[in-house]
Amino acid sequence: MEHRPNSVFDEPNFKELPRPGDAAEHEVWEEPSLTPGLRPPDASQTYAGLLRERWRRASAGTSWLTVAGLACVAGPFAVLAAFMKTSAPCLVVAAVVVAPLVEELGKAAAPLITLERWPYRFVSGSQLVVVCIASGLVFSSIENLLYLRLYVGHPSAALAAWRWTVCTALHVGCSLICGLGLRRVWLASRATLTRPDVSKAATYFLTAMALHGTYNALVWLLDKTRLLSFGE
């Protein structure tokens, strides 16, 4: 039979078979249109069955290696993402709106993607909090070094102390809030054996962004009114 372009034979399912273990990733038994209570012949073919089995076989050691890897990657990744904020046309908008949005999403991006795709990589919701705290610490350390060594050059002792205490605490604190949001997503997925719903973390992310933006706006205002000065 002649193969015509744009035919049903171009569908991915006709091109290759799923790898072993991937079938449950693409199952249709959770579709809302299916009759309530309808179950597949083999429960292992469901996403819930996949999660149950993967968590049963999960190793704490391997899970913590994943946490360590994410902690090393998340901070630098956020720094790269943060360079996007310089494209804002107004410096005030960049500092108060764009920076909090990009930085908080950037610091949590690696654990968030891992959670959404492979929730069974974590054996505890607290691991996500640890990853986000580590990401915030790494990000703030890199940002402080860039700011003090490159952007300023010869900072005053007061400015250096402010960067390493207040700014570091801000980044770690905001990342902690985001981590609590991801923990909530993981706990819900673990309890119900359903796909992680990242929308459950939206309130936490918005809170972290609002806190970060408020801090930046306050510092900008104090600097403009000269109520905050580091003697540069």
Q: Find how far residue 149's CA is from the centre of its chain.
A: 28
**Angstrom distance (rounded) from CA 163 to CA 205:** 23
- Pull the structure tokens for residue 208: 């972290």
The amino acid present at 20, given as its one-letter code, is P
Residues 6+ apart with CB under 8 A from 58: 120, 121, 123
| Residues 71 and 136: beta-carbon distance below 8 Å | no
218: helix, strand or coil? helix
pLDDT band at 151 (very low <50, low <70, confident <90, very high): confident
Contact 52, 46 (CB under 8 A): no
pLDDT digits (tens, 9 = 90+) for 113-127: 999 999 999 999 999
Q: Which residue has the higher pLDDT, 216 or 78?
A: 216
- Whole-structure pTM value: 0.78
Q: What is the pLDDT of residue 176?
A: 97
Which H helix or E strand runs over 230? none
